[in-house]
Every structure is written in C-alpha cells, then in structure tokens.
Structure 1
Amino acid sequence: MNEKYPYVTFLGLHFNLTNDIAILVSAVIVFFLLFWLARKPQLRPGGKQNVLEYLIDFTNGIVKQAMPGPEGNRFGLLALVLFVFIFVSNQIGLIFQVDAGGLTWFRSPTADPVITMGLALIVLVMSHFFGVAVKGISGYLKGYVSPVAFLAPINVIEEFTNFITLALRLYGNIYAGEVLLLLVRQLAFSGAGGPVSFVAGFLLEIIWQGFSVFIGSIQAYIFVTLAMVYTSHKVVSE
C-alpha cells in the first residue's frame, strides 16, 4: 500500500481518499458547470450558451468522425460528458494540490493509473454492450473472426491492448506534468540560488502550467476520440 496518500479501510479493503476526493470534486465541478451553461437557453444564444453549444458541436464532431452514420447519434451526450470530465480532472491538479502531514490529499485524479484504468474500462464495457445491443450476439461475435477466423486470438488480444493504451496514455501525460510542476516549485522555494532560483522557478512554473493546460486539453480530446473509435468498431457494420 502506498503510504504517500491517505487511506481508509472498510470491510478489509483500502480506499485511497486522495482519489475519492478528487473524483468527487471533479464530478461536482462538471455538474454545476454544465448546469450553469445550460440554464435559461435562448433562441438567440449569447455568452455561456455559445460556450455550451460550441462544446456540443465539438464533441459531436468527434463522434461523427468515428461514426458518420446514424449509429453515432446515441453517443453525443457520452462524448460531451466524458470530454468535460476528463478536461476538468486533468486541470484541477494544476490549480490545487494539497499536501499536509506528509500526505497528498488532493491532486488531479487522472494522475493515478487506477482512475484512468477505470475510465478506460467504462468505455470498453459500454462499447461491448452497445455492440451486442446493435448487432446481436451473433453479429457481435462475428467481429472477432473477421476478416478471417484465424485472426480471432489477435482480435481478443487487441481488446486488452486498447484498454492498456487508453488508460496509460492519459495517466502518463498527466502524472509526468504534475511531477515536473512539483520539481519546478521545489526549485523556486529551495533557496539554493537565492532570489534568482525563486524568480526562475516562478517563471518556469507559469510557463509549464500553461503548457500543461494545453496537454490536458489534448489528452481529453485523444481519450474521447479513441473511445468513439473503439465503440465504432463494435456498433458500425463493416
């Protein structure tokens, strides 16, 4: 058990409070953000309604790229919520990171592989569910023996590699960004170079935070894009 993060034990299971708190905060932010943007819609949109409509058009575009046919109509809301949630989860650790008593109480939830694997698992389970729902059991299983039957083992292995790459790509980028940000912050407050190290560290932190916002946005886009691509492989007939 990693002792850097606070845990609680329930029924013999250890629960990471850092992840629980971060996920809860991200979910609350996403809920109230989308609720606020969607309040009092008008025929002639302006301000916050334009932001929401842009987000919807943007995520619908991701879905249409993967599923240009009518199959993609049911995944627009999933893509929107998934993109906003991952975007917020990637960014909150840059703004708030709480360390107290030698423990990290708050950071970006996507900086933990358990969270990103959970998100990847949700996507893949839903893709299989909709594959069966759209094509039926026989049509779903037929996808594993296409184009030829002897490729079935490779198609099965691909499901596991999709899960691993979807989860670890997001985790690796966000975790690396937060580690580098922490190192830059330690440089600023180390006092080794006096005022020079503080100014240099402060400037580097501002630059890296801006770059991390860009990386977090790109990773949210990539995750949703791959999620829709994997789902399209299950629901779209070749």
Structure 2
Amino acid sequence: MRILVVEDETELRELLGRALKRQGHAVDLAADGIDGLHLATEYPIDLAIIDLGLPGQSGLEIVRQLRKRELDYPVLILTARSDWQDKVEALELGADDYVTKPFRIEELMARINALLRRSAGHAAPEVRIGPLEVNLSSQIVRMAGETLELTTFEYKVLEYFMLHPGQVVSKMELNEHLYDEDADPESNVIEVLIGRLRRKLDPEGDWQPIETLRGRGYRFRQDED
C-alpha cells in the first residue's frame, strides 16, 4: 500500500517512514501542509497520516480539501493537542481515526492496518479467496493450509490483489501503489513478480488465480468457492 505521511517534526517523520517501509508499504513524506496537500491530491495514496499542527496549511484544512474533492481514502490524524474539540472537528471533517502524541509505534501500525482492512471491506485481518488465505496483520500467506514463503514485493503485489479482487489492475497502478515517488523500478519488474506469484500460488496450474488482460493489466479471481 502507498501511504502519505505529513509531519513537520523531522525525527518523527523519518521514524514513521522507516517503520512503514519495514511493513512493506511505499511511503511519501511531506514536511508542511502545502506539500502534503499536493501529494495527497495528485498521487494514488491508499492512506494518509496527517499531523494537525502543520506549517503552511493545517492538517484540518488538508482533510477538508480531500473530502471536498471526494478523495475517500482513510486519514489518520496525529495530534499533540489534548483539546477534545480538535479531535472532534477532525473526525467531523472526514478523518477516520486519530492518535495523540506521544504514541507507541505498535499502536499506530495496528490502527493503520485496521483502517486499510476496513477501507477494503474487511473487519478481520484474515482475507480468504478460494484456497488462499492472507493475514494482513502478520503477513502470513497460506495456500490450502500450507504456509507460503514470499518476498517482500511478491507479498505486496498479492496483498493489493487480495484487497481488490475482481478488479482490473494495470501495471501502472501496481507500480504506483508498490513504489514510492523516488523509486524507479525496471520496466518488466511487475511481469516478473506476477510470474513468480503464479508459480508459488498455483504450481500445477489448477486454480489460475491471476488473469492477464492484454493491454489492460491483470485481474485476481473474486470467487470464493
């Protein structure tokens, strides 16, 4: 997933960036509200973490602009403020959750995972399609009860497919959601990852979960039978 962090405290911003990348997310970072709003509206973000007290433009204004433009991805607010009215205003403007500073990084990651699951229509961390089960919290993948070993990027591709079953997903869309702004993946990296996933998920070719749509991209089968 591609996550935006808008935070003016350099140490915290970089800490969050590192933690999110360790979890396998692509990360975009902004140090003020102006850059944050630009990234939030111009890039294919899956979730935004936004501090309320930002220079240039407030976090509340970013949330207001996102919802005004009908961008409905989850927004998690960070705030050092103890005033409950700030939190209420953020939620009423369209934020989905908030964390008060200081916080434990484990709590933040749990809230992020929950928001990503719920935005895709899953309340529980386990997502199942046919014989395939993916735990979005532990990132454990099982096929017919057997644990599969996936690389970081193989897992990221599979996770994106599992959260968008039945949808046509282009190679460009996968690139944008798997890699951050500064990344420059090789042109055939998606094809390579898809090929490796197919061999691991369906070595005998019996299930064929990933369909190639010539000129359009890929579609992960949606049926659960």
Length-normalised TM-score, structure 1:
0.27
Q: Larger % of strand: which?
A: 2
Q: Larger % of helix: which?
A: 1
The structure having more radius of gyration, on CA atoms, is: 1
User: Whose RCO is larger (CA < 8 A, sep 6+)?
Assistant: 1
Length-normalised TM-score, structure 2:
0.28
